Structure formats: structure tokens, C-alpha cells
């Protein structure tokens, strides 16, 4: 069985990029998550302790990214996946990191999928 929680459009601001201006001016980043877990225990107990508390997770993602500095979206995605997978209830995570202002006419994003 593969259950999942999807969280879209987590908006954060952080220092990310290779250009000098990007290293001093925070930029908007949008994060989409797909968390693979099991709902079996939670669906029986109806208790938040038996599932992924996505409110706590989103707060953690925002705090982690806002305090971080990266050159590459790829590095940000990798480090964020490591942080998210610290919660052993999450068996796998798929992360899309979007940098809306990377180019003048397009959005740039990366997708990383990692598992415990």
C-alpha cells in the first residue's frame, strides 16, 4: 500500500543562486511536496501522532529554507529531502523546488525523489 500527502505552494524566501545579487538578496521559492507514508495506523486510531503532522512539517520546511544559503536548487532539494526524511513516518519524499524569478520569461524547477 502506498499512501501519500501532497502539499503544494509552500512559499519561502531564501538566499539561493550563483550570482552576487542572489547571494545578498533573498528570493522567492515555491516548494511542492509529495510525502509517501502509511495511513493504516492513523486511520484506525484517528490520532495525529500516528501520521505525518503536515502543519509541523510545513513550519519546519519554512524555517529550514529561510535560514539556509545555497548556490543550486539541486543542493537545496537534496538537503531538504534529508531534513524531511528525519521523520521516520515518511518513507519517501518527492520535492519540487521552483525558482520563479530565475529567468525573465520562465520558471525553473527541479524535482528530487528520495527514500528512507
Q: How far apart are the first and last CA of the chain?
A: 16
Angle (CA) 37 42 44, round 5°: 135
In this prediction the pTM is 0.89
Which of the pair, 101 or 19, is modelled with greater confidence? 19
| Domain-wise residue ranges, the chain | 3-115
pLDDT digits (tens, 9 = 90+) for 42-98: 999 999 999 999 999 999 999 999 999 999 999 999 999 999 999 999 999 999 999
Distance (Å, whole) CA 113 – CA 99: 18
| Percent of the chain at pLDDT exceeding 90 | 83
- CATH topology (fold) of 3-115: GTP Cyclohydrolase I, domain 2 (3.30.1130)
Amino acid at each position: 500500500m502506498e499512501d501519500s500527502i501532497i502539499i503544494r505552494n509552500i512559499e519561502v524566501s531564501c538566499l539561493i543562486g550563483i550570482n552576487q545579487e542572489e547571494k545578498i538578496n533573498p528570493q522567492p521559492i515555491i516548494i511542492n511536496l509529495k510525502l509517501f507514508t502509511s495511513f493504516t495506523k492513523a486511520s484506525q486510531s484517528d490520532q495525529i501522532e500516528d501520521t505525518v503532522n503536515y502543519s509541523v512539517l510545513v513550519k519546519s520546511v519554512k524555517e529550514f529554507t529561510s535560514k539556509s544559503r545555497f548556490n543550486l536548487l539541486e543542493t537545496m532539494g537534496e538537503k531538504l529531502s534529508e531534513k524531511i526524511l528525519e521523520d521516520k513516518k515518511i518513507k519517501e519524499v518527492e520535492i519540487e523546488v521552483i525558482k520563479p524569478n530565475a529567468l525573465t520569461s520562465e520558471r525553473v524547477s527541479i524535482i528530487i525523489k528520495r527514500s528512507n
